[in-house]
A and B are shown apart, each in its own frame.
Chain A
Amino acid sequence: MGDRLFKGTSVFMAVGLVALLGLLLWELSVGGSRAFARFGLHFLTGRNWNPVFGREEFGALPFIFGTLVTSAIAIVLAVPVAVGLALLLNEVRTGWLRDPLAVFVDLLAAIPSVVYGLWGLFIMKPVFDHKVEPFLTATIGKVPVIGALFRGAQYCVQIDPTTGACHKIGYNSNGGDLFTAGVILAIMILPIVTAVTREVVAVVPRDLREASLALGATRYEMVRMAVLPYARSGIVGATMLGLGRALGETIAVSMVVGNGLGISASLFRPGYTIPAVIASEFREATSVGVHRSALLALALVLVVIALILAALSRLLVRRTARLVSAQPPPDSVEMPILELTG
């Protein structure tokens, strides 16, 4: 009797998790359905976002654009460092430094999003606006094609009062930009990408490493020929998990991204992201009109992408484990529980 009751309760709580996911998706779909019904595909491709009742129009492209660009910057910057870090921790004899290093990297994930935002807004952004970004504009900005990414909006710093001519041209407004947000995101997702990559690298069998070393391979050759080929799909999985985290990050990004609706090639211009628009507009979004529904629809888009990425990432990481060991225990790779606050 007690047995059945206890088991029943625990089954209930476990199934509750599945129900929670179902309810979440259901609630957001129902809430967002009005926006989808009214704007259809235009909701995702339209460039006008106007919540003023009577003239409502909801095209989320600027937010989708900003979310993708900031996340892409984060991935491009974070993944190489994360892989290097994972290899450093797993493959190089780092001595007593190893444990502190691993702990400190994990601590990056513990820092609350709002603290990142505060630091980004008051400490990092000024440095980026006045030093880093002008430097990049002056160097990479001159390269033909990709240079367009690194040219900010030009504006006049010093105007001659009589002639109106410009004495000094500056770049970047001070309102925040996609690049700064991307760099903050890169720092934030570094721990999770590192941790998953470490798990993946750790399941590469010892024999392979020893065999390549016995053949006279240097550490570099061992990593390149024995470790990375096996870990590759797992590293892609780690990247996807990082991407999922980056897409959903809210507060830190909204504090430094500039909240501007433009879409342009330049990374040094203000942008806006899906989570940021939800956080800044939910207060005004009443049930009158479609505004609330539009925000819920955005949340739905976000969670669907994040869940797909998480599922794919799990699949890839598990596959790596299966690839290397003939008889895999069902859950041999534990996905590390490293969460970003938002």
Chain B
Amino acid sequence: MSEYAATGDVLLARRSTAVTRSRRLKNRLFTGLLWACGFLALLPLAFIIWYVLIRGLSALNINFFTREPAAPGQPGGGIVQSFVGTGLIVGMAIAFSVPLGVLAAVYLSEYGRGRLASGVRFVAEILLSTPSIVAGAFIWALVVVAMGTFSALAGSIALTVLMWPIIARATEEILRLVPQELREGALALGLPRWKVILRIVIPTAGSGIFTAIMLAVARGMGETAPILLTALGQEFLSTNPLAPADAVPLRVYDYARTPVLSQHAMAWGGAIVLLTAVLVLSITARILGNRQRGRVR
């Protein structure tokens, strides 16, 4: 303002205040719009959690976790076979995908240079975009059709297809955070490379790797489509890995689409358990991950 007054160009000064006002208004509007986006994004999360809570809590009781389903329309019963099945399938998937993923990550961060490494990194990244139904169809064609039966094992292999690249990429990022000086120091003391990796690098990144696994497990646990195509689901308890198995998401999916009201309640019960488990895993992984990043750096 003062410089305009100094030049005596009062007209210009007035005009510029007018422009400033409209610019400021635009800026306000814009900022308001951004806040509206933030609000809009949180709305569905709040609604989903709220409804799952109020509908799901009433379905939870001891029978829900310990009994097999009652006949449709009958009171009582639970979905114990789904919990056992999820445990079985996800457990086997962890057993397969953790060594595969962590070792692939070791290659990418410790050895990987040049074309091969960037090729593998590229493939791992686009594998993350494989639609989960495709992983299911793939294992259905490869394992289920060959074995002649749906099975918990096939389900866990389908989950492995999804979890392997997740663990590989997430672990690689963690391993890269381990300071180079640690490796150099250990190598200078005469340790062979593989011992440096196993004894120094991996333990330093330990909790970070754990969070990578937690993220992958959270993903695997919530999957419905790949397990549907490979483990099929059923309503009685089975612990045989070579036989069809149930899983919590499968039960929710099946029961949501029946006309039986008591099964709808079970579906909400399954949803609340699933949602709680997945959210606890992802939030813990995030907190641990942030802490880890802070410590290593």
Complex partner residue of A9 from B103, B108, B256, B278, CB under 8 angstroms: B103
Complex: A12 Cα to B99 Cα, angstroms: 12
Q: A18–B120 contact, CB under 8 A?
A: yes
A324 at the interface (CB under 8 A from B): no
B41 at the interface (CB under 8 A from A): yes
Q: B256–A122 contact, CB under 8 A?
A: yes
Name the interface residues of A170-195: CB closer than 8 Å to any CB of B: 187, 190, 194
Q: A341–B132 contact, CB under 8 A?
A: yes
B110 at the interface (CB under 8 A from A): yes
Name the interface residues of B23-41: CB closer than 8 Å to any CB of A: 23-24, 26-27, 29-31, 33-38, 40-41
Contact with B along A92-111 (1 / 0, CB 8 A): 10100000010111111011
Listed stretches B57-65, B87-95, B160-168; interface member: B160-168
Complex: A221 Cα to B215 Cα, angstroms: 39
A136 at the interface (CB under 8 A from B): no
Complex partner residue of A194 from B41, B120, B193, CB under 8 angstroms: B41
Q: A114–B168 contact, CB under 8 A?
A: no
Q: How many residues of B contact A (CB 8 A)?
A: 105
Q: B132–A18 contact, CB under 8 A?
A: no
Complex: A116 Cα to B26 Cα, angstroms: 37
B128 at the interface (CB under 8 A from A): yes
Complex partner residue of A27 from B118, B130, B142, B195, CB under 8 angstroms: B142
A56 at the interface (CB under 8 A from B): no
Q: B45–A107 contact, CB under 8 A?
A: yes
Nearest residue, chain B, Cβ from A97: B38
Q: Which A positions have Cβ atoms within 8 angstroms of B?
A: 2-3, 5-7, 9-18, 20-21, 23-24, 27-28, 31, 80-85, 87-89, 91-92, 94, 101, 103-108, 110-119, 121-123, 187, 190, 194, 218-221, 223, 241, 244-245, 247-251, 255, 275, 278-279, 282-283, 287, 292, 295-296, 299, 302-303, 306-307, 309-311, 314, 330-331, 334-335, 337, 339-342
Q: A123–B47 contact, CB under 8 A?
A: yes
Listed stretches B7-15, B73-81, B178-186, B217-225; interface member: B217-225
Complex partner residue of A114 from B134, B140, B222, CB under 8 angstroms: B222
B42 at the interface (CB under 8 A from A): yes
Q: B229–A282 contact, CB under 8 A?
A: yes
Complex: A187 Cα to B45 Cα, angstroms: 9
Complex partner residue of B137 from A2, A9, A241, A295, CB under 8 angstroms: A295
Name the B residues within 8 Å of A84 (CB-CB).
33-34, 36-38
Name the interface residues of B114-153: CB closer than 8 Å to any CB of A: 116-138, 140-142, 145
The 9 A-B pairs at the shortest CB distance, nearest first, are namely A248-B131, A112-B222, A84-B37, A342-B132, A6-B194, A310-B129, A13-B103, A299-B137, A10-B107
Name the interface residues of B262-287: CB closer than 8 Å to any CB of A: 264, 267-268, 271, 274-275, 278-279, 281-283, 286
Taking A219-B31, A299-B133 as contacts, is the C-beta distance between A101 and B164 under 8 angstroms?
no
Q: A250–B45 contact, CB under 8 A?
A: no
B237 at the interface (CB under 8 A from A): no
Q: B257–A255 contact, CB under 8 A?
A: yes
Name the A residues within 8 Å of B99 (CB-CB).
13
Complex partner residue of A20 from B52, B127, B145, CB under 8 angstroms: B127
B100 at the interface (CB under 8 A from A): yes
Taking A13-B100, A112-B275, A255-B257 as contacts, is the C-beta distance between A247 and B131 under 8 angstroms?
yes
Q: A85–B225 contact, CB under 8 A?
A: no
Name the B residues within 8 Å of A331 (CB-CB).
121
Name the A residues within 8 Å of B104 (CB-CB).
10, 13-14, 16-17
A256 to chain B, nearest CB (A): 10
B147 to chain A, nearest CB (A): 14
B51 at the interface (CB under 8 A from A): yes
Name the B residues within 8 Å of A13 (CB-CB).
99-101, 103-104, 107
B252 at the interface (CB under 8 A from A): yes
A218 to chain B, nearest CB (A): 4
Nearest residue, chain B, Cβ from A4: B194
Task: Apart from A218-B24, A306-B131, list 16 A-B contacts with CB within 8 A.
Answer: A2-B192, A7-B111, A27-B138, A101-B38, A108-B45, A114-B222, A250-B132, A251-B249, A278-B133, A283-B232, A299-B137, A309-B129, A314-B125, A330-B118, A342-B132, A342-B226
Q: A21–B127 contact, CB under 8 A?
A: yes
Give the most central of A82, A94, A299, A306: most B CB within 10 Å.
Answer: A299
Nearest residue, chain A, Cβ from B112: A14
A108 to chain B, nearest CB (A): 5
B205 at the interface (CB under 8 A from A): no
Name the B residues within 8 Å of A223 (CB-CB).
30
Complex: A302 Cα to B130 Cα, angstroms: 9
Q: B219–A339 contact, CB under 8 A?
A: yes
B286 to chain A, nearest CB (A): 7
B210 at the interface (CB under 8 A from A): no
Nearest residue, chain B, Cβ from A298: B137
Q: A88–B35 contact, CB under 8 A?
A: yes
Taking A10-B103, A123-B47 as contacts, is the C-beta distance between A275 and B133 under 8 angstroms?
yes
B106 at the interface (CB under 8 A from A): yes
Name the A residues within 8 Å of B101 (CB-CB).
13
Nearest residue, chain A, Cβ from B135: A24
Q: A115–B275 contact, CB under 8 A?
A: yes
Q: A103–B47 contact, CB under 8 A?
A: no
Give me 29 A-to-B residue pairs in the complex whose CB atoms sit less than 8 angstroms apart, sorted by A's number: A10-B106, A13-B103, A16-B100, A17-B123, A82-B37, A84-B33, A88-B37, A103-B283, A105-B42, A107-B45, A108-B45, A112-B278, A113-B224, A114-B256, A119-B52, A121-B256, A122-B55, A218-B27, A248-B129, A250-B132, A255-B253, A287-B145, A299-B133, A303-B134, A337-B128, A337-B170, A339-B162, A341-B223, A342-B225
